[in-house]
């Protein structure tokens, strides 16, 4: 019925089954804009498939500039959400410029930052933890990829947590070739880790995997984030033994996005893309409780996502 509803919605958007469409054509009136279809994040599920209670909560957010996001009260939302670990992407902030509001946060005594070497105000990721990881590493061990502050890995007793800001193929796809080598090397890095301990990968993976993951698939086949090459790269990551937690739980859910361009009032219209993910090693799947899209939280062109699991 969901599919039929979507078809009907598309048809009405094309003006095919509007009762008054013939009259509208005669008077050359602009057609009524369709009401946006929003996604309502359902109540959090706090029990796993195998009956365990969630005891780990991770939040990931592409903040599109840490300093501006702090000014927009992003930290108020974080304190309310209260995750065990907070992962941030696109901090765009050199270490010396980190806002005191976040560096002094007592809730997260263990804070890790990775900034872009050459370009200040570009890329950058962070991980803030309530409990200290056993070990923290930066990058993926390949020099060509590790200058832009894109990956932090924290080892916990029962799993690794990796947060990533995956390179954007960029306007005109000028970085698509680079992105393809990144995808291969990043997959190899994760596969190596997964041999030692299962992992959670979170962050802005800069790809909408399937047509259901963006509002306008037909018009974006050649756009960064929805090229066949990037989608295939993501499929290969899943084939390597990782699961898209949101789709595991909500395989048919449409209109669930995590990014909306600032242009054309896209967020109010919910014309978006799902670019932010929690991927889990298959051995962690039985402990998956919920994968949330917090699309009411403002402060960036992405919204935060939250994972509940039992570890």
Which bin fits 200, alpha (ψ -120 to 50), beta or left (φ > 0)?
beta
The pLDDT assigned to 249 comes to 98
pLDDT at 18: 40
User: What 8-state DSSP symbol labels residue 273?
Assistant: B
b/e per residue 7-40 (b: at least 16 CB within 10 A): eeeeeeeeeeebeeeeeeeeeeeeeeeeeeeebe
What's the Cα-to-Cα distance from 244 to each of 5, 28, 136, rounded to whole Å? 25, 46, 24
Query: What's residue 215's pLDDT?
Result: 98
Compute the C-alpha angle 203/205/206, nearest 5°. 130
Whole-number Å distance between alpha carbons of 12 and 15: 5
**Cα–Cα distance measured from residue 7 to residue 201, given in angstroms and rounded to the nearest whole number:** 34
Q: Which residues are catalytic?
A: 165, 204, 302
Q: Which residues are annotated as a binding site for Mg(2+)?
A: 62, 90, 204, 206, 301-302
The tens place of each residue's pLDDT in the chain, 311 residues long, gives 444 444 343 333 333 344 444 444 444 556 677 788 999 999 999 999 999 999 999 999 999 999 999 999 999 999 999 999 999 999 999 999 999 999 999 999 999 999 998 877 899 999 999 999 999 999 999 999 999 999 999 999 999 999 999 999 999 999 999 999 999 999 999 999 999 999 999 999 999 999 999 999 999 999 999 999 999 999 999 999 999 999 999 999 999 999 999 999 999 999 999 999 999 999 999 999 999 999 999 999 999 999 999 99
- Domains delineated in the chain: 56-309 (3.60.10.10)
Q: Return the pLDDT at 29.
A: 57
Q: What single string gives the DSSP state of each residue in 160-228?
A: EEEEEEPPP--GGGTTHHHHHHHHHHHHHHHHHHHHHS-EEEEEE-----SGGGBS-SGGGTTSTTSSH
Q: What does R_g of the chain's alpha carbons equal in angstroms? A: 20
Would you say the pTM of this structure is higher than 0.85?
yes
């Amino acid at each position: 019925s969901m599919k039929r509803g979507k078809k009907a919605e598309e048809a009405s958007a094309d003006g095919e089954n509007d009762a008054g469409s013939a009259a509208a054509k005669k008077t050359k009136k602009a057609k009524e804009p369709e009401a946006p279809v929003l996604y309502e994040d359902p109540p959090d599920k706090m029990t796993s498939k195998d009956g365990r209670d969630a005891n780990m909560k991770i939040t990931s957010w592409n903040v599109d500039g840490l300093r501006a996001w702090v000014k927009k009260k992003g930290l108020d939302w974080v304190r309310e959400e209260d995750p065990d670990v907070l992962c941030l992407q696109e901090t765009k902030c050199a270490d010396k410029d980190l806002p005191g509001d976040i560096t002094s946060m007592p809730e997260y005594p263990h804070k890790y930052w990775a900034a872009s070497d050459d370009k200040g105000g570009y890329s950058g990721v962070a991980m803030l933890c309530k409990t200290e990881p056993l070990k923290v590493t930066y990058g993926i061990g390949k020099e060509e990829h590790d200058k832009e502050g894109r990956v932090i890995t924290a080892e916990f007793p029962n799993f690794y947590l990796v947060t990533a800001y995956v390179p954007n193929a960029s306007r005109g796809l000028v970085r698509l070739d680079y992105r393809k080598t990144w995808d291969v090397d990043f997959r190899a890095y994760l596969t190596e880790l997964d041999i030692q301990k299962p992992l959670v990968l979170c962050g802005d993976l800069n790809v909408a995997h399937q047509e259901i993951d963006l509002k306008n698939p037909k018009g974006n086949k050649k756009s960064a984030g929805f090229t066949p090459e990037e989608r295939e790269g993501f499929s290969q990551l899943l084939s390597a033994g990782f699961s898209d937690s949101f789709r595991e739980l909500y395989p048919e859910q449409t209109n669930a996005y995590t990014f909306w361009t600032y242009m054309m009032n896209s967020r109010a219209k919910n014309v978006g893309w799902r670019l932010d993910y929690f991927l889990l090693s298959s051995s962690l799947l039985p402990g998956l409780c919920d994968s949330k899209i917090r699309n009411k939280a403002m402060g960036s062109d992405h919204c935060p996502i939250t994972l509940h699991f039992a570890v």
